[in-house]
Each structure stands twice: as C-alpha cells, then as structure tokens.
C-alpha cells in the first residue's frame, strides 16, 4: 500500500503530484506572481502608449488587446489564485487541520490553472492575436474575435472549474476539519471571509460558464442568444456576465478583509474590535453583492424603477463595508502600535480602499454614472479597490506570513521601501485618473485630446515607478527564502492564531494530532 505520503517524489514531480496543502499553496502563490508580472507588463504597454497624445508605439487593436488581457489575467490569473494560495497555506494552519479535506482535488484545482494560462498566453501567437473587446467579453464585439475568442472561452471554463473545485475544498475543510473546540465563532476572520467567498464562487462561476457557453454557440453553432434578429439580446449577456461579475469583485476583496483583520490586531496588540459584527458584515456584503449587478450597465437602457432599485441596493453595501472600516479603526484606537511592513500595507489598504469605496458610491448614483460610464473615473475607482485593496493586502499577508513559511525574517528595510514606493507609484498612477475621467477621457482608447496630456504623463510615470518597485518584492521574497534572521515560532508578539503555535518554517505536516482549542 502507498502509505508513504511522508515520502514524496523529489524534483519537479514533487510539485506536480503533491497533495500537501503547503506545497499547493506555494504553487498558487508562485503562479500568481508570474501572472502578476505578465499582466503588469501588459499594463506598462498601455501606459507607454498613453504617455503622450498621438499614436506612438502600437495599433489601436494591439492597445485593446493589451487592456483586455491585462484585465483578464490580473483578475483570474493573479489576484484570485493568490488568495487561494493564502487559503491553502493558512486555513488548515488556522483551524488546526492536518491538511485540506480533499487533497487530490486540491492538486487538480491548481494544475488546471496552467492549462487555462496556456490557452490565454498562447492566444498572442494565433492568427489575429488575442481578444480585444475588453475583459467583460461583451457581444457583439466579442463575435469579431478570431480563434483567440474560442481559446479565451475555454480558458474561462477551466478557470471556473478550478475555482469551483477549490471552493468546494475550502468549504468542506472549514465545515469538517476544524480542531475540537474551534467553533464557527472562534474561527479567525481570514477563515470566515474565505468561507463566505467560497460560497460566492460556487454560486457565480457556473453562471459565467453558462454565459461564455452561449457565446461559443452564438459564434459557431448558429444560436441567437445575443442577436436581436433571432429574438435574443446583447444586453442579456451583460446581465448574465455581471450577475457573475459583481460578486466577483467581492470574491477579490473579502479574503483581503480577512487578511487585514488578522494583521491589524497583531500590530495594534489588541483583539479585533467587533469580531461578531465583522462576520455578519462579511455575510451581508456577500448577499448584497448578488443583487446589485446592473449598476455596471445603467446606460444600456432599463426602466427607471430598475435603476432606482440598483442604485439604492448598491449604496446599501456601503453600510456593512463601513462597519468593517470603523472596526479596523477601532481596533487601532489606543493600541500599542508598531509599523512593520505588513501593518504599513494594511493601513495603506484601509485608507486607499476607503477612497475607492467612496468613488464607488459616487458611481452608484445613476445620474452621475451616466456621465462617468466608461470614463477614466471608473478605471481609477476599480484600481483603488483592486490594487490598493486586494493587491496591497496580498503584499501585507505575504510579509506577515513569510516568517512562518520560510523560517526567516524578511528584510524590513527593503519591505518598507517596497511599501512607500508602491504607495507613491500607485497614487501617482491612479489619482490623476479621477480628474481625467471627470474631464471626460474615455477608457480603452489609445489616444486622447491634448488637454489630458499632463495627467496622463503623471499617470504613466507613476505606473513605471509602481511596476519596477514590485521587483523589490521578488528580491525580498527570494532573500527571505534563502536566509535571514531566524523567525522563531511566533515572530509577532501580538499574534494569537493557531499557525503561530507550530515551528517556523511550518513543518511539512502540521496538526497530525488536532490541537484542542479552549
């Protein structure tokens, strides 16, 4: 019998066949880092073209391909897999489980991603190049894509499979593998946020699969789902897409809330303020996120009553989100605070995510949105919630748990440098875009009128600062893996979750005998 899961194959086969949650977590994290740099390079191509007015470096088609693939790969290849990587590493450690509930399925959830990435990345080399209609894949424009249109559809299917299988695993692990005494309301908030996120994923990823399947049959099998001459409607695609797409933005931010809720109490040396309200706020956000999708499409034509409903429902989300922001502030209030890199990124997150949330409320208002739809204001808004929201917490989480993963402390000086340069580069890139949008500059257009030149130049300079700064992160991570001051079991004195009770680096197998939680 093959009892020897302790004797795993060496070399590349270890990573290909692994059923260990820590190996799989690392695979997810490295994969997402690669995709982050790939999609980031595409973004630098966009900013290069927009550095000054006029057409400089590329055809409009190429520009559109860059914006499309940048969005698709950042969302599905970088941000989402990175959070799943954190879930794989941390959830078993935080609930005192020996591994994920379904380890072989866990391996498959990861190894589906390179297949999808292959389909997306090789679409650069097929006739016609990659898709160019924007990451939202709207018909009828999407129908004009060549062979890459089909490759992208199947990439989305496989990414969806990966997400669904991964989410099932996370839910089952949390429901069935908690250590004795670890009741639901004792779970660390990171576990809670992922629990709710996994439900969202299972609920909406199949709907996206349905939408792209209809696109496939419209493209090749003569159906008329999105064609008015056959009784269909291109707007229907937008409804189905955003029924997935709006929960998707919460899928990318709820685990971020969880990471921040782990880090802020540690460095404020106080327990999280309002734990119970945090849990309920997370659940409320998830539920509300399912019923607000049409605020992405106020301008496509819908009854005014529908617009009013979607406006008020959207604004309602600000309430539980506000609860969270106030809880983080209250946690810091009168705390014995220190400002190591994870804390810096977390505070940066609270400030900038809140700003992104406010512009979200601005955009939720129908009359305002009708003016700002598809302008750079929207681009600025979602980069404030996705970059300084999701991405900043990914950095925060990486710095926070690197000592546990590697057994070494990271380079604090370089970490802080990474934070401050990211902060400056990010704001320089995206803050001016609010003004550009308010002044009427449309998104996804490779050229612009002269009056937009100054802000665009600032934005491009900021983007290159932000992009190159991320190389510091890679250097810090590699340096930390190769050596550094020993971390000890619990490098952060304010931390109190279960992962800090095991040695650093965390042994290959942890909690083989479940800990008892009081």
Partner 1 sequence: MSGNKGSYYLPAPSHWPVVGSLALLLLTGGFVMKINHVNMGGSTMIAGAIVLIYMLFGWFGTVVRESESGMYNKQVDKSFRMAMTWFIFSEVLFFTAFFGALFYARVISIPGLGSGDTMSQLWPHFVASWPTHVAGEDKIVSGPGSTQMFTPMHAWGIPAINTLILLTSGATLTWAHWGLLKNNRSQLIIGLIATVALAFSFIFLQAFEYHHAYTELGLTLGAGIYGATFFMLTGFHGFHVMLGTTMLVVILFRSMKGHFKPESHFGFEGAAWYWHFVDVVWLLLFVFVYWL
Residue numbers 219-238 binding partner 1 by CB under 8 A: 220-225, 227-233, 235-236
Shortest reach from residue 142's CB to partner 1, in Å: 15
Shortest reach from residue 242's CB to partner 1, in Å: 12
Closest to partner 1 by CB, 92 vs 437, is 92
509 as an active site residue: the answer is no
Q: Residue 272 carries which DSSP code? A: P
243 in contact with partner 1 (CB under 8 A): yes
Shortest reach from residue 34's CB to partner 1, in Å: 17
Binds partner 1 by CB under 8 A, chosen from 55, 175, 329, 351: 175
Contacts to partner 1 from residues 271-330, by CB under 8 A: none
Shortest reach from residue 126's CB to partner 1, in Å: 9
Are the beta carbons of 73 and 39 closer than 8 angstroms?
yes
- HSE-up of 88 (CA within 13 Å, CB side)? 30
Q: Spot the catalytic one: 123, 321, 390, 497.
A: 321
Shortest reach from residue 507's CB to partner 1, in Å: 13
Contacts to partner 1 from residues 116-135, by CB under 8 A: 118-119
Distance CA 351, CA 356 (A): 9
Q: Spot the catalytic one: 248, 340, 411, 499.
A: 248
Nearest to 2 by CA among 108, 104, 97, 100: 104
**Would the CA dihedral through 137, 142, 148, 150 be positive or negative?**
positive
Angle between helices 234-251 and 189-220 (to 10 degrees): 160
Task: Supply the DSSP string of 161-206, one letter for each residue.
Answer: HHHHHHHHHHHHHHHH-PPTT--GGGS-HHHHHHHHHHHHHHHHHH
Shortest reach from residue 63's CB to partner 1, in Å: 25
Q: What is the CB neighbour count within 10 angstroms for residue 483?
A: 11
Contacts of 376 (CB under 8 A, 6+ apart): 433, 434, 436, 437, 441, 442, 443
250 as an active site residue: the answer is yes
Are the beta carbons of 272 and 183 closer than 8 angstroms?
no
Closest to partner 1 by CB, 104 vs 413, is 104
163 as an active site residue: the answer is yes
296 as an active site residue: the answer is yes
Q: Cα dihedral angle (69, 71, 76, 79), rounded to 10 degrees? A: 130
Nearest to 152 by CA among 130, 136, 129: 130
- Of 8-16, 179-187, 272-280, 337-345, the window that binds partner 1 (rule: CB under 8 A) is 8-16
Binding track, positions 489-518, relative to partner 1; x by CB under 8 A: -----------------------x------
Distance CA 496, CA 490 (A): 9
Question: Total number of residues binding partner 1 (CB under 8 A)?
Answer: 75
207 in contact with partner 1 (CB under 8 A): yes
Shortest reach from residue 346's CB to partner 1, in Å: 31
70 as an active site residue: the answer is yes
**Would the CA dihedral through 253, 255, 258, 264 be positive or negative?**
negative
Q: Spot the catalytic one: 32, 123, 152, 163.
A: 163
Contacts of 12 (CB under 8 A, 6+ apart): none
Contacts to partner 1 from residues 83-112, by CB under 8 A: 98-99, 101-105, 107-108, 111-112
Closest to partner 1 by CB, 219 vs 418, is 219
442 in contact with partner 1 (CB under 8 A): no
Shortest reach from residue 11's CB to partner 1, in Å: 12
Closest to partner 1 by CB, 169 vs 422, is 169
144 in contact with partner 1 (CB under 8 A): no
Distance CA 310, CA 291 (A): 8
5 in contact with partner 1 (CB under 8 A): yes
Nearest to 294 by CA among 254, 251, 244: 244
295 as an active site residue: the answer is yes
Q: Residue 484 carries which DSSP code? A: -
457 in contact with partner 1 (CB under 8 A): no
| Residue numbers annotated as active site | 70, 99, 135, 162-163, 246, 248, 250, 261, 295-296, 321, 324, 443
């Amino acid at each position: 019998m093959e009892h020897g899961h302790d004797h795993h194959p060496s070399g590349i086969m270890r990573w290909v066949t692994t059923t260990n949650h820590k190996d799989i977590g690392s695979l997810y994290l490295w994969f997402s880092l690669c995709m982050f740099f790939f999609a980031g390079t595409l973004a630098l191509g966009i900013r290069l073209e927009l550095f000054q007015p006029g057409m400089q470096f590329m055809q409009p088609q190429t520009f559109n391909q860059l914006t499309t693939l940048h969005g698709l790969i950042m969302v599905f290849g970088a941000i989402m897999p990175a959070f799943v990587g954190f879930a794989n590493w941390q959830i078993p450690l935080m609930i005192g489980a020996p591994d994920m509930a379904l380890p072989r399925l866990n391996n498959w959830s990861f190894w589906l991603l390179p297949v999808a990435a292959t389909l997306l990345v090789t679409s650069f080399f097929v006739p016609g190049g990659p898709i160019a209609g924007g990451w939202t894949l709207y018909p009828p424009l999407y129908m004009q894509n060549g062979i890459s249109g089909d490759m992208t559809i199947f990439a989305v299917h496989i990414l969806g499979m990966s997400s669904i299988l991964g989410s099932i695993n996370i839910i089952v692990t949390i429901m069935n593998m908690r250590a004795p005494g670890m009741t639901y309301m004792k779970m660390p908030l990171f576990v809670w946020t992922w629990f709710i996120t996994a439900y969202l994923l299972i609920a909406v990823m199949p709907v996206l699969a349905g939408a792209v399947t209809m696109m496939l049959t419209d493209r090749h099998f003569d159906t008329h789902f999105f064609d008015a001459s056959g009784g269909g409607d291109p707007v229907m695609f937008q409804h189905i897409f955003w029924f997935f797409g709006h929960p998707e933005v919460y899928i990318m931010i709820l685990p971020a809330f969880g990471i921040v809720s782990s880090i802020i109490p540690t460095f404020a040396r106080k327990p999280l303020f309002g734990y119970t309200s945090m849990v309920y706020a997370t659940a409320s956000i998830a539920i509300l996120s399912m019923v607000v999708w049409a605020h992405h499409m106020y301008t496509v034509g819908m009854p005014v009553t529908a617009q009013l409903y979607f406006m008020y429902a959207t604004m309602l989300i600000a309430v539980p989100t506000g609860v969270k922001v106030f809880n983080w502030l209250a946690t810091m209030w009168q705390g014995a605070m220190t400002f190591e890199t994870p804390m810096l990124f977390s505070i940066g997150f609270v400030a900038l995510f809140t700003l992104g949330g406010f512009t979200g409320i601005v955009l939720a208002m129908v009359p305002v949105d009708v003016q700002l739809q598809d302008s750079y204001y929207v681009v600025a808004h979602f980069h404030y919630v996705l970059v300084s929201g999701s991405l900043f917490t990914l950095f925060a989480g990486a710095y926070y748990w690197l000592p546990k993963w590697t057994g070494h402390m990271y380079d604090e000086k370089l970490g802080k440098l990474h934070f401050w340069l990211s902060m400056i580069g990010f704001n320089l890139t995206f803050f001016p875009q609010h003004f550009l949008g308010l002044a009427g500059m449309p998104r996804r257009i490779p050229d612009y009128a002269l009056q937009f030149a100054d802000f665009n130049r600032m934005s491009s300079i900021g983007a290159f600062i932000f992009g190159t700064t991320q190389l510091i992160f890679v250097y810090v991570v590699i340096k930390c893996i190769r050596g550094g001051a020993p971390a000890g079991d619990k490098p952060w004195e304010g931390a109190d979750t279960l992962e800090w009770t095991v040695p650093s680096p965390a042994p290959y197998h942890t909690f083989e005998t479940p800990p008892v939680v009081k």
